[in-house]
Amino acid sequence: MNYQIEKNGNPFEIKEKKLQKGKWARVITFLMLLFFSIFALVPFYFMLVSSFKPGSELIRYGINLKLQPEIMSLKNYFLLFTGKEGIYLHWYKNSVLITFFQTLVAVFLSAAVGYGLAIYRFRGRNLIFITVLIVMMVPIEILMLPLYELIVRLRIIDTYAGVILPFAVPPFAVFFFRQYALGLPRDLLDAGRIDGCSEYGIYFKIMMPLMKPAFGAIIILQAMFSWNSLVWPLIALRSNEHMTLPIGLSSLITPYGHNYDMLMAGAVLSVLPIIIIYILNQKAFISGLTIGAIKE
């Protein structure tokens, strides 16, 4: 950490010893970051390599990172389409549709709520905002039994609607949109009113376009959350054809028939779309996360 000043061209004299120390610090920094990056990436590499090998290899030898061209093929990927009557395709379709609808509903509703809380002064505004903050603190897992009872009563068990309902207006997204909308120019509100726009016209035609970066960040975060979510879909979905990818894949973990062949290839294809979106759009992933950490 010593070299920071030297690098910045600090006018103070640089001693030979200090330079030497800086070099070592740099090497250790590099090695540490390299170690943890390898730790982060090895599972991805393993999954990719294993997805081309027969599942029996994994059962017999456990984790094996070697490339073995003699036993590698695309067979597992073909099996995803044909194995178990193509159930994998059902899971994929369910995951895509649930992610799409959940994100659409969550973003549309929470943006409106966040905007309303930020722009207008009205009775109950603070109470509602405090409620949003408190709800953010309550783990939804605690309520999974009564929510299960609720979707049974509403007859939406084992449907997409049942999966979406408890996440229809995610408090974290409301919080994010409110923080963002606080920065919108309020003069536009008055200008819009003078031009004869209704309050909703102002929101949809003037303000929403200005909130585009916020929409980008929340769409990505919410989509990632929906795509990967496990606990609630596990409860809300009952039949095998209605399962999503995480639940479907977890049901393949038992070494039976061609399960393992499908497991690895299936896992790779389930991660792939998110990694592609991430590589194309890293900034949006990160800006969505950090809003919570730095308040005010």
Partner 1 sequence: MSKMKKTLVSSFFSSPKIAPYVFVAPFILFFLVCYVYPFIKTIEMSMEQIFGFNDVTFIGFDNYRRLNNVHFFNALKTTTAYTFWTIMVLIPLPIILAVLLNNPATKGKSFFKSALFMPALTSVIVAGIFFRYSFGEQATTLVNAITGLFGMEPRIWLQERGSAMFALVVLCTWRWLGVNIVYFLSGLQAIPQELYEAAAIDGANAWDRFFQITLPHLKPVIIYVVTISIHGGYSMFAESFAYWQTHTPGDIGMTIVSYLYQMGFNDFDMGFASAIGVTLLFIVMVVNLIQLTVMGFFKKEVN
Binding residues for partner 1 restricted to 168-207, rule: CB under 8 A: 168-169, 174, 193, 198-200, 203
- Is residue 138 within the footprint of partner 1 (CB under 8 A)? yes
Q: Does 293 bind partner 1 (CB under 8 A)?
A: yes
- Choices 70-78, 85-93, 155-163, 167-175 (CB under 8 A): range interacting with partner 1: 167-175
For the CB of residue 72, give the shortest distance to partner 1 in the complex, in Å: 18
Region near partner 1 per CB under 8 A, out of 78-86, 96-104, 131-139, 211-219: 131-139
Indicate whether 67 belongs to the interface with partner 1 (CB under 8 A). Answer: no
Residues 110-129 that bind partner 1 (CB under 8 A): 110, 112-113, 115-117, 119-120, 122, 125, 128
Closer to partner 1 by CB, 88 or 227: give it: 227
> Residue 67 or residue 137: which is nearer to partner 1 going by CB?
137
- Residue of the chain from 230, 240, 241, 255 that contacts partner 1 (CB under 8 A): 230
Per CB under 8 A, does 4 bind partner 1?
yes
210 binds partner 1 (CB under 8 A): no
Contact residue for partner 1 among 9, 146, 196, 209 (CB under 8 A):
146
Counting Cα atoms < 13 Å in the Cβ hemisphere of 102 gives: 29
Decide if residue 19 touches partner 1 (CB under 8 A): no
